[in-house]
Each structure stands twice: as structure tokens, then as C-alpha cells.
Structure 1
């Protein structure tokens, strides 16, 4: 074989190798959805589901972080957001009552986690009954994380049929590094008891808040709108789910927004889909969620993230 043919053969081999590497890199960065989860009585810790299409979910075996703080040693309502540097940030409910903060930990791989800390956001309110369902939102416009949660401060707000120790409003703090936090402020007072709120960004200056109307007898989901992630949120819509639904999380799939929710009366997960957050269609028959899954949030990852976790579980008998 002359030098020219050898050179051509070498170039073809190199091109094939490059194509193979590019194809593999594409697979590694292919989107995978993760869904944080816990199981009652919430003493085990955070579990994870995964999906390639955002509709059909499978369980990743095992517990990824166990509760290590709080007198009640529980980990409910785990919320995860991935920051711009790739770090996963986790917050959760550490107790039913008697707590003044929520739990926090971080991870680079969803496997090894930092030391757990309590972020005592309601320490300034001595009569606070609880700190429930903290939710993380990364505000890419201001490069900050917003954390919202529900707390009851008795005799602070008007109420309906609720007892004073069950009359919730939403509060918030912000942080850029999870070391220093802005002072706690009221996030939402819609005129009724509210919990389980999540912020969704549609586009710049266009935000939707999905929330649970926790009043009796309602206890269902509604939406409100704002031009800033911190609100004010107005035009609270009519309920779009049935009785005894909570724990919403939102996923965009094509032109549709899917709102997953915990139908805790039937111990199942439901979903609706919408394109405008005004008109909603039942999408429960489109989804498949393992039984026992409880109140979590959906976040995006990659095939490489999933493969790393699956390899870890195989090595450790998961």
C-alpha cells in the first residue's frame, strides 16, 4: 500500500472514531428526568424515580440520603434543583411540628452528599408551628436560588374553618451560595390557607405559581401568575384538581406543561396537562408512577447521571 492510500485509510479511521465519540457524547448528554420521592412514614430518606419521556417512571433502588437532623428524624417533601455549576441542592421537611427550619444538603453526583444542615428560617417567629414542603427554584435572571415553604404563625392572618395552628401562608428566602440567606419574608397571602407551592417559569417576566388551597373543605390545586418569581402572584384561578390533592410538580414536554400531583386520598399519583395554565386536561392515564411514591419534585439530568447511579447501585447491591 502506497503512502497516499495509508494516509487516506488513517483519515477514514480517525473520522470513524470521532463519529463514534460524538455519538457517545450525545447519548451521555441525552436528557433524563429524575423525580425525588419518599415513602411513608418518611423515616428512610430520599428515593429517586427516573424517566426518559417524562411520563413513565421507574424506581432507582435504594435510599440516596437518610435523615440525619431534626428531633423527628424524617425526610419529607424532598426538592432538588441543579445549579449552574452542576451541583445538586436538596431541601426537605424535617418535622411535622415544632420545627423552625428545613433541611439542606448538596451533592455533585446524587450519591455522595454533604453534611446535613438545618436552615432555621423561622427562628425569628417563636410561635411558628411548622415549616413544611420547602421548594427550590433557580432564578436564572438574578443568579440566585429562591426557597419557598409553608408555615403557620397563629393569629397572624384571617382564617376560615381551619384551626389557628393550621392556617398556613407561604414564606421565602434567597441565597446564592447556601451559606448566607436573605431575611425571611412573606411570599404569598392569597386570603386563605396555602401550602405546597411551586414556581414555574414560562419565559422572561412570566411566572406561574402552582399551589394547594389547604382550606376546608377544598384541599385542591390552583394557579396564580406574576411577572417576577417573587411575585406578587395574582389572579388565583379556580381549582383544577379534585378533593384531597397536593404536592404539585411541573414538567414541560413539547408544547404541554404536565402538572403531577399526589392524590393522597387514593394513594396514587395524578396529572393534568395544559398549554396556558387556564385550561387543563386530565392526563392521569398518560403517566405511570410506582405505587408508594410521595410528594417530590421533577428535575432534569443526563444519561450519564443515570448510568453513574445505576453503576453505583449494581456495585452496592441496589
Structure 2
């Protein structure tokens, strides 16, 4: 009798997971040009062929900062069921943008989060991302900043003295935020971190921004807790091209990492089952023309249907 119970329970879980997969499609948030017209969205049913929504027009125009930009939009579905988005508001300001939505169509008022305003020598706050930590039931927001004078061993004139490291805050409600702290110093100029949960630990995809000798590729580091400490980085997982803005999702038990081949004006992707051995599948993906730096996430088919009605 007990064996039958566990057999039925396993069957129920398997059917439920399959139903969830069947109901899901994939969405991609991105910007175009300099980010001046705001949030763009695309969708895919298989993670390879992507189509722009709303005729590739903006879903949300930027309103905050003197530059009024919406670059590097990162969207996740939170534990509360809402979509939460952060983005780069400016090339030089010390905060980031935040907004939330129930449906990706109507958005809350745009909020400026002054994450680095306390740091007099901070030059920027670029490419913020959000990851939800189910263990501590809180969100971590993290981004790249150059603080003038820090880490002088990797500061060079060829990069206009930009010398980023990753910083973070945590929040449970997007109203109160902890003080900013250093998240990761990999020993080089680093930007564009994106963190996922894999096999009971955290994996950080990160861009090695080193210009001399040139790197400009994506690497991985691992940690037992979301705030680290993170391991030394891996060898590059991307090829002989400049890559930035990694974003990962697990599809059919394989991780696909999308990234911007920004000097080639193309998008690329690599895939792996174990985050160790990687295959370049850039030739298999198709993205909207002009897409820049974005993030991938899941939505339901019902949500996609509503999005497709927006003209």
C-alpha cells in the first residue's frame, strides 16, 4: 500500500512538471540602440527562434535620470508572482532603475534606487540584475561599478580607467535595501554578472572585461551561498569574439547561455548539461534585428497571448 502511494505521488509530480513545461514559453527583455526608447520584449517556444513583440516597439519608456535611458533591462518573476525589473539608467549616475508589473504591459512608477550614492568616487552603476534567493527568501540586486582608485593593479588607460567589480544589495520588499557591499573581485575588470541556481549551488556567469591583453569573454564562478564567496573563474565558455551580457536558462535539462556579440552586431549562445563542457550553438539561434543585452525568463502561454494583442 505504501509503495503504491509513493508511486502515485511520483506520477503526480511528473505529470505536474510536464504540464508546467507545456504551458510555458520563453520571454526575452532587451534594449536597442542606446536604450533611449526603453524596454523591448521577444518570445520563443523553443529557446532558439525568437520573435519581437509589439512590432519591436517599446513596452515602457524610461523616465528617470538626466539621461533617461533603459539599458540592460533585467526582468524576473518574483516569489510574489510579479515581474520585477532593474536597468541601467545612465552612463554616469550612481543608482539604478526599478519597476514592477503584473503582466509586462502595465508597469508601476519607475523608481531610482541610489545604490552607490554613498561612494564619492563611484563612476557608474552598470548592468544590474536580480536573482531571487529561496533559501533566505529575499532578492539580491547586483551590478558593476568602477570606484576610482580601487584595485589599481588592473586599472589601465586603454579602458578609460574603467575598472569594474561586482557589488550588491539585498531586499525582501523593494522598499528597504541593505547597504551596498562588494560581491566579487575576480582579480580583473569584470562586468555583466548573471547568477543562477544549479545542483545546490550558485553559478555566476561574468564578463572578463580585460582589454590588455584582450579577454572580452564570458566565464563562470561558483559559490555555496548567493552572496559568496565565489570561486576563481573558469576558462572562457565563449569563443574567439567579444561577448557580453550573459543570460542563462535551463531548457530540457540543458543550460543555454545567451550573450551579445556586440562588436559583430550579432547574438550568440552556448549550451551545457553540467556547466563544464560547452557547445557553441550561435548558428542555431535567431534573434530580432538590433537586439542588445537582455535577460531570458519564462512566461505562461496565457501571458504571451495577452502580449501578442498589444500593437
TM beyond 0.5: yes
Which residue in the other structure is 1:305 paired with?
A: 303
* Superposed counterparts of 1:153-232, under 5 Å: 153-160=147-154, 162-163=156-157, 165-204=161-200, 206-216=201-211, 217-232=214-229
Deviation at 1:285, TM superposition (A): 1.9
Instruction: Specify the alignment match of 2:252 in structure 1.
Output: 254
Instruction: Work out whether residues 159 and 167 of structure 1, in 8 Å CA contact, stay in contact via their aligned partners in 2.
Output: no
Provide the C-alpha distance between the structure 2 equivalents of 1:120 and 1:147, rounded to a whole number of angstroms.
12
1:291, distance to aligned residue in structure 2 (A) = 1.9
Match of 1:295 among 293, 302, 306: 293
Cα-Cα RMSD: 1.5
2:89 pairs with 66, 79, 94, which one?
94
Unaligned runs of 5+ in 2: 1-18
Aligned to 2:141: 147
User: How does 1:21-32 map onto structure 2 within 5 Å?
Assistant: 30-32=23-25
Contact 1:30 1:302 in 2 (8 A): yes
Superposition TM-score, scaled by structure 2 size: 0.89
Q: Any residues of structure 2 matched to 1:10-49 within 5 Å, and which?
A: 30-49=23-42
Deviation at residue 54 of structure 1 after TM alignment: 1.3
- In our comparison, the structure showing a higher alpha carbon Rg is 1
State how far apart, in whole Å, the 2-side matches of 1:28 and 1:283 are.
Answer: 22
Query: Following TM superposition, by how much is the alpha carbon of 1:29 offset from its aligned partner in structure 2, in angstroms?
Result: 7.4
Residue 159 of structure 1, CA deviation? 3.2
How many aligned positions are there?
286
Corresponding position of 2:97: 103
Query: Could you tell me how far apart the structure 1 residues matched to 2:271 and 2:22 are?
Result: 26
Q: Which runs of 5+ in 1 are unaligned?
A: 1-25
Report if aligned partners of 1:187, 1:230 keep a CA contact under 8 Å in 2: yes
Distance 1:161 1:118 in 2: 29
Contact 1:148 1:171 in 2 (8 A): yes
